[in-house]
Amino acid sequence: METAIELKGITKTYKGERQAAVCNVSLKVKKGSIITLLGPSGCGKTTTLRLIAGFERPESGEISIGGKLMAGEKTWVSAEKRKIGMVFQDYALFPHLNVEENIGFGYRGKDKKERVQEVLEMVNLLGFEHKGVHHLSGGQQQRVALARALAKRPEVILLDEPFSNLDTNLKQTMRNEVRRILKKANATGILVSHDQKDALAISDEIVVMKGGIIQQKGSPRKIYQFPNNAFVAGFVGESNMMEGTVEPGKRWIRTDIGRIPCNQYHIISEGEKILISLRPNGFQLAEDGEIEGNVETYSYVGEYLEARISVTTQKKEKTSLLVYLHPNETIQQGDLLKFRVSANFVSVVKN
């Protein structure tokens, strides 16, 4: 596959800061894919985006877009000359222009009118050409911002926290919409988000960042089911962390609360002491389950039943597990439950 964007060892330190906002980041983005830079605030995701856009200049490393070097030791292509479309967090629509003028802004081709119509159709806003942008709803404003970014057929579309200003229902719709539109335009999309749900729903690939460093990169499923460190496990969804020893055959991990199955035998060795992450979704109620405990607290949150289970370890100590059960189950405080664990939600985690 063709590479749309490549970062090689990018480092950026802001003036007056001691710690680098982005530290030695390398990343390849396939053409036509959608990736999300995910992390808490201050993790360097926005800086990475601004570096790609050309609003910030890296102090070392190289950035290439579409195979052409944009930033390097001796190269610097300014923001307006990069073929990049950007969707800002607050959309940054020009308030003195209407929808059509906003979308056509900066478009130099002779087919301006047709192109504006084309992208308007893509974002389902035909008929809104002459509306003022402050008369639009949040979702419509975002569509206009996206259309404006797409109009020039850029190599890459950058989206800065695209869903943070929308309410929950609209958020879900716009996640699907943005994905549909980007795919239809065959554009490469890079999103920045602190919301794991956004990231899981929209991305082909997720890049989890913390402290200016990439923690893990992979498909949403891989990131969720097999986080490779404690930070990723805790940031993307919730997780039960525990230590264990790899049993002979490498299919089981022996822990304080019992045996846990594991698929990642290729990265562990017999007798090794490792840390594992167990997603709360990995537990199923089963009569013959090896793990048993009493219901400490539980709450019904609609999509599932969230329960804290108090388990007695082999050393006769109490430990507590977070478990998601099917919302159909009825449980009471104090009930003794038995669980089976699915290996698909067990991940070996580096310390």
Partner 1 sequence: MIRRAPLKKRKISSFMGRVPPNPLLTVISILVALFMSIPIIYVGFRGIFAGSERWLRLLDGRIPQLLLNTLGLTAVVVFFSTVIGVSLAIAVTRCNVPGRKIFSWLLVLPLIIPPYVGAVTYIMIFGPMGPLGSWFQIYSFSGVAFVLTIFTYPYVFLVVRSALKRMNRNLEEAGRSLGLDNLGVFLKVNLPLLRPSIGAGAILVALYVLSDFGAISMLRYNTFTSAIYYQMGGYDNVSATILSLVLIILTVGVLWLEARVGRKTAYFQADSSYRTLEILDIGKWRYPLVGVILLVIGVTIIIPLGVILYWSWIGIARGALDGRFWGYLMNSLQVSLLAGGLSMVFAFPIVYLKSRYPSKFTTILQRLSYSGYALPGVIVALGIIFLFNRYIPVLYGSSFVIVIAYLIRFLPQSMQSSSASLEMIPPKIDEAARNLGEPFWKVIFKVILPLMLPGLFAGGALVFVSSMKELPATLLLRPPNFDTLAVRVWVEASEAVYHMAAPAALIIIIVSIVPIKFLLDKY
Residues that bind partner 1 (CB under 8 A): 53-55, 78-82, 84-86, 88-90, 92, 94-97, 105-108, 134, 148-149, 152
- Smallest gap from residue 243 Cβ to partner 1 (A): 41
Q: Where are the alpha helices (DSSP H) in 156-312?
A: 168-184, 196-202, 220-225, 230-235
Residue nearer to partner 1 on the CB measure, 158 or 223: 158
CA distance 136 to 143: 10
- Smallest gap from residue 132 Cβ to partner 1 (A): 10
- Smallest gap from residue 204 Cβ to partner 1 (A): 23
Residue nearer to partner 1 on the CB measure, 17 or 80: 80
Residue nearer to partner 1 on the CB measure, 155 or 205: 155
Residue nearer to partner 1 on the CB measure, 88 or 300: 88
Q: Where are the alpha helices (DSSP H) in 196-306?
A: 196-202, 220-225, 230-235
**Which residues, in sequence order, are CB contacts of 290 under 8 Å at separation 6+?**
258, 259, 338, 339, 340, 341
- Smallest gap from residue 178 Cβ to partner 1 (A): 17
CA-based nearest residue to 288, from 252, 338, 343? 338
Is there a contact between 122 and 147 (Cβ–Cβ < 8 Å)?
Answer: yes
- Smallest gap from residue 305 Cβ to partner 1 (A): 36
CA distance 186 to 32: 5
Residue nearer to partner 1 on the CB measure, 53 or 181: 53
- Tell me phi and psi for residue 101, to 5 degrees: -65, -35
Is there a contact between 248 and 212 (Cβ–Cβ < 8 Å)?
Answer: no
Is there a contact between 136 and 144 (Cβ–Cβ < 8 Å)?
Answer: yes
The pair of three-digit structure tokens given for residue 2, joined into one six-digit string: 């063709």
Residue nearer to partner 1 on the CB measure, 31 or 152: 152
- Smallest gap from residue 89 Cβ to partner 1 (A): 5
- Which residue's structure tokens are 């709360």? 280
- Smallest gap from residue 338 Cβ to partner 1 (A): 49
**Which residues, in sequence order, are CB contacts of 67 under 8 Å at separation 6+?**
3
Residue nearer to partner 1 on the CB measure, 105 or 304: 105
